[in-house]
Amino acid sequence: MKKQKEFFYHALEFRQDLCMGCSHCMMKCPTEAIRVVRGKAILNADRCIDCGECYRICPYGAISVRQDDFEKIYNYKYRIVLMPAVFSAQFPDKITSDQIYSALLSLGFTHVFETENSIEFLIKPYNDYVRRHQEKPLISSFCPAIVRLIQVRFPTLTDNIMLIKPPMDVTAMYIKKRFEQAGIPWNEAGIFYVTPCAAKIAGVKSSVVEDGSLISGVINMNYLYNKVYREIKQKGFAKEDNAESGFKFMTRNSLRWSLTRGELRIVESDKKLAIDQIQNVIDFLEKLENEDTEDIDFLELRACYQSCAGGILCSGNKFLTTDRANRRANNTDNAALNKTEFEQYAPYIEDNCLLYGKIQPRSIIKLDDNMAEAMKKMKRIHEINAILPHVDCGICGAPSCQAFAEDIVQKGSDIKSCIFIQKILEQNDKLDILETVDLMKQTWDVGKLDKNKMKELNKEVNI
Amino acid sequence: MHFEYQVTGGDFTNAGSTSSSVKKTLKQLNVNPSIIKRTVVALYEAEVNIVAHAYKGNIYVDIEEDAIVISLVDEGPGIPDIDKAMEVGYSTASVSVREMGFGAGMGLPNMKNNSDKLTVTSEVGKGTTVEIYNRLQ
Ligand SMILES: Nc1ncnc2c1ncn2[C@@H]1O[C@H](COP(=O)(O)OP(=O)(O)OP(=O)(O)O)[C@@H](O)[C@H]1O
Ligand code: SF4
Ligand SMILES: [Mg+2]
């Protein structure tokens, strides 16, 4: 088994040139991974789970999502695009799947497949897995942000995560097998996954798949959406076109898979639950850890509201996307599934779709590996907590007074960064005004404390 | 380290808040996950028993490096026959409590299974004290 990476790869990038240090992202982060230092948001890589809540809330567009250079597709003779069903569901009704397919070919791809092509293959392994495993409830490993959330915040639940490869990897396996059987050398083929979110990128770059991901590159969905839309606008393309597409096994199950309750549909149990939106998931996992829940066999947990239709890189409105995906599913004829071809690949996929090893907990909650040391730190944190104001204003550069108390003990942050403590010290002549200005600059940089700038802005303000 | 919490009889909405808080503390102290699980399950059952059967109570938690001791002291009707109450399936829960999914008579047996030492003392008409002791290493 390949050793799991020491550090998570992160696709979210904080741009120092655009960041205003407004602290919105810091207050929103579900794992308290962000601090403001010298006027800029700084990400703690050990804590970040790539859920993208910061990206959603940033008012200045200062957070971007890294992607591979599109030209990278030309490193390969066979250029395969792997797009999730929510991609085509972003487009207005008047644009057909055939047009999208033609546009993708016109943009340089040689083959077009949908990510959920392998869902029908996965139904049996999924249910076998649920039946065989005792560690209930089993938690789906589909959403990489959820897997990471559990690793860092709910380490006692890592054994509940299902060790089944995500559809993206299973579909890639299927494509590779098809290519090999057609005599195409695999090193000439590159698979490019179109991602709705940062989490999936991180999932590809530091994959839980032990033998390495078959995905050669990742393209952001909003980027490709714009490219495809423009291509269709400029070149037209026939609405109906009988070219052989790679949408081999798209059934109702596969079309709904990445929507909320999509996985639930295929699990044969009546004790199952689907939860979307990261805070809802956290609340539920808290309950689960206390064993304060009914018996549940299977949990579908997704970081985004409306699941992947609400991914941070989806351009369309999440409700319209969900509605279109559902309508496409309703209009899909399940009987069209090519039984012979299906049976040809099913055994191979069944044998190769499981993950081995273990998802390692990476607790961000423990104060120290050594318990005696952790206890000392905890006492210190309690003492500090008792004197902090608990208004969670964020002026110290930490998301809450509690987090600040922990930063003081863990990272040596200066308690004088708290504006309330500063006032008390000033009152007692323990701190003069110049020192407080210096302290503020350490967190908020010079820009926000530039009095000349203020004077210029408002001549009447006499400062 | 010492912590104190209060529990109100009949308040099922907040039953479990002490367990959550103790769980967080144990996670911070890097206690073995299976010991955390045991301790939290035992505490949760005891907490719910105060909510379900007593009027109000206090929970005192003492954590040292080697062990955790949790005392749940309530004011309530008390338990006339502790040995009987400890039996699997024994319950005096009212219909309304059973409707909420409690009252299977599994609480005390569960607490016993999930603690290294469980002591229950009670005085009828006054209240009950439950002490859970778990080694942490
Ligand atoms: N703190 C308490 N005060 C008064 N009576 C109690 C208390 N704790 C338990 N009992 C009595 O002991 C009985 C058995 O308790 P136990 O926790 O095992 O079952 P239960 O609470 O009735 O049901 P369950 O815990 O399975 O929901 C209770 O029905 C109740 O009569
Ligand atoms: S729900 Fe879907 S889009 Fe959102 S983070 Fe998870 S995998 Fe990505
Ligand atoms: Mg009980």
Banded model confidence at residue A1, pLDDT cuts 50, 70, 90: very low
Say what the pLDDT of residue A3 is. Answer: 41
Percent of chain A past pLDDT 70, that is, above it, reads 91
Select from B39, B47, B64, B44 the least CA-distant residue to B134: B39
How many contacts does A have with B, using Cβ atoms within 8 A? Answer: 60
User: Which of B12, B18, B30, B114 to substitute to test the interface with A, most A CBs within 10 Å?
Assistant: B30
What is the residue extent of each domain of chain A? 12-65, 70-352, 371-462
Polymer length of chain B: 137
Q: Give yes or no for A5 touching B (CB within 8 A).
A: no
B1 sits in which H/E element: none
Whether pLDDT at A301 is above 80: yes
B92 has pLDDT over 50:
yes
Q: How far apart are CA B68 and CA B37, in angstroms?
A: 13
Give the pLDDT band (50/70/90) at residue A441. confident
In chain B, the N- to C-terminal Cα span, in Å, equals: 16
Q: Is B90 in the pocket of ligand 1 (CB under 6 A)?
A: yes
CATH code: domain B2-135 is 3.30.565.10
> Which helix (H) or strand (E) element contains residue B47?
helix B33-53
The alpha-helical segments, DSSP class H, found in A143-277 are: 144-153, 167-181, 198-205, 221-235, 252-256
- Residue having the nearest C-alpha atom to atom 7 of ligand 2: A143
Residue range A248-278, pLDDT digits in tens = 678 899 999 999 999 999 999 989 999 999 9
How close is the Cα of B62 to the center of ligand 3, in Å? 23
Q: Strand, helix or coil at A61? A: coil
pLDDT averaged over every residue in chain A: 89
Structure tokens at A357: 């090893």
Q: What is the pLDDT at residue A267?
A: 95
A303 is written with which tokens? 């970081």
Is residue A394's pLDDT more than 90?
yes
**Which of A412, A66, A119, A107 lies closest to A254 in space, CA to CA?**
A119
- pTM for this entry: 0.88
- The residues, any chain, with a CB within 8 Å of residue A9's CB and separated by 6 or more, are A201, A202, A205, A206
Q: Give strand pairing partners of A301.
A: A275
Q: Which of A370, A373, A375, A410 to mutate to test the interface with B (most CBs of B within 10 A)?
A: A375
pLDDT reading at B59 higher than 90: yes
Half-sphere exposure of A248 (CA within 13 A, CB side): 22
Tell me how far apart the alpha carbons of residues A154 and B53 are, in angstroms, rounded to a whole number: 31
CB of A319 closer than 8 Å to CB of A90: no
Angstroms from A156 CA to nearest CA on chain B: 5
Global ipTM: 0.82
Tell me the CA–centroid distance for residue B103 and ligand 3, in Å.
Answer: 6
Q: Does domain A12-65 have CATH number 3.30.360.10?
A: no
Band the pLDDT of A2: cuts 50, 70, 90. Answer: very low
Taking residue A141's Cβ as centre, other Cβ atoms within 10 Å add up to: 20
How far apart CA A160 and CA A149 sit, in angstroms, is 13
Residue A388: strand pairing partners? none
Give chain A positions within 8 Å (CB) of B136: 371
Q: How far apart are the first and last CA of chain A?
A: 64
> From atom 8 of ligand 1, which residue's Cα is the shortest distance away?
B49
Indicate the pLDDT class of residue A211, thresholds 50, 70 and 90.
low
* Inter-CA distances, A355 with A163, A165, A169, A362, Å: 5, 6, 11, 19
- Domain ranges across chain B: 2-135
Asked if the model's pLDDT at residue B117 lies above 50, the reply is yes
The predicted-structure confidence for A150-169, as pLDDT tens digits, reads as follows 999 998 899 899 999 999 99
With beta carbons under 8 A apart, name residues in chain B contacting A367: 28-30
List, as one string, the DSSP characters of A409-446: HHH---GGGSHHHHHHHHHTTSS-HHHHHHHHHHHHTT
